[in-house]
Amino acid sequence: MKALGRVIVPVFAATLLNHSASQRIPFTEALLCVKNLLFFRLMAQYQYYTEATIEYMENYLKEFHCHKDVFSRFRASKSTKKVSEAMKMQLTLDKQEEWESDPAWNNLSAAAKGRRVDEDKTQIDSVMAQHLVDTSDFNFVKMHLLNHFSDHIRQLGNLLNVSSELPDKVMMDLKQAYRQSKRHEAALQILRTKARKEVFQYRELNANAAKQSRDDDMPLTKVPIKQMMKNLQPEIKTLDDLAEWCAMPKEELQNHIAWCFKRFADFTD
């Protein structure tokens, strides 16, 4: 979703670039709707807020609601679409009866009949599109929740503090455990599966921690140090000379030496 958010507005703008005169208004409305919703989403990811940034969020959400109707007909439910299809068939039959009952219909040329059929079809499509818009809405929980984001930020801080990602992850594990159960009195089986997975996770963490501890406690080998001592030039007699030979600042070299004395106090070399 984050990758999509980076490209959706320019891709959408390029897709709707070459429009006709009749498409200009809905294409502009669609682009403004998507842009404002994306800007709202990006600001919802902020970790720090001021009253000004919260107002920006609220304004983006208001602008989204002003332009969202362009997508309303795509929000139609299956039952609404079935009713619309039935209405379309009925309107088409009514138009056919109107044509047949019109005495002048048979006197029209084929081209004139075709133009009238196209006009009536366009009118029916317009009526159906308006019906889908009137019977559809954005009234669902996740869309309504956006209205409360600004209040949540003022009361609880940034939204990452109240993210649902962690409980969603826990629910995924529980659902997977239920699918692995016998589906009959599955609570105990779910708890056992969950506990078994966590035991393996704890053992893996302990094993990794023990390995890391062994790596940290492993003493320095003497071979590189002896080799380094052989490569020292006779003129290196002071700390300044050593820092110049090591190509590092004197203060940094002092810190390394002090750390080595503290870390490897029993290392005689």
Q: pLDDT per residue over 103-153, tens digit each? A: 888 778 888 888 888 888 888 888 887 887 778 778 888 889 999 999 999
Q: What pLDDT does 164 receive?
A: 75
Q: Which of 242, 266, 265 is nearest to 253 (CA)?
A: 242
Q: What pLDDT does 265 receive?
A: 67
Asked if residues 67 and 39 have their Cβ atoms less than 8 Å apart, the reply is no
Q: pLDDT per residue over 166-182, tens digit each? A: 778 778 888 888 888 88
Q: What pLDDT does 229 receive?
A: 58
Half-sphere exposure of 12 (CA within 13 A, CB side): 16
Q: What pLDDT does 223 receive?
A: 46
Task: Give me the sign of the Cα torsion angle 56, 60, 62, 66.
Answer: positive
CA–CA gap between residue 14 and residue 129 (Å, rounded): 25
Q: Which of 130, 159, 168 is nearest to 57 (CA)?
A: 159
Asked if residues 83 and 90 have their Cβ atoms less than 8 Å apart, the reply is no
Compute CA distances 49 → 44, 55, 59, 118, 155, whole Å: 10, 10, 15, 55, 12
Positions of the chain with pLDDT under 70: 216-234, 264-269
Q: What pLDDT does 174 receive?
A: 85
CA–CA gap between residue 184 and residue 194 (Å, rounded): 17
Collect all residues with Cβ–Cβ distance below 8 Å to 45 and sequence separation of at least 6: 159, 160
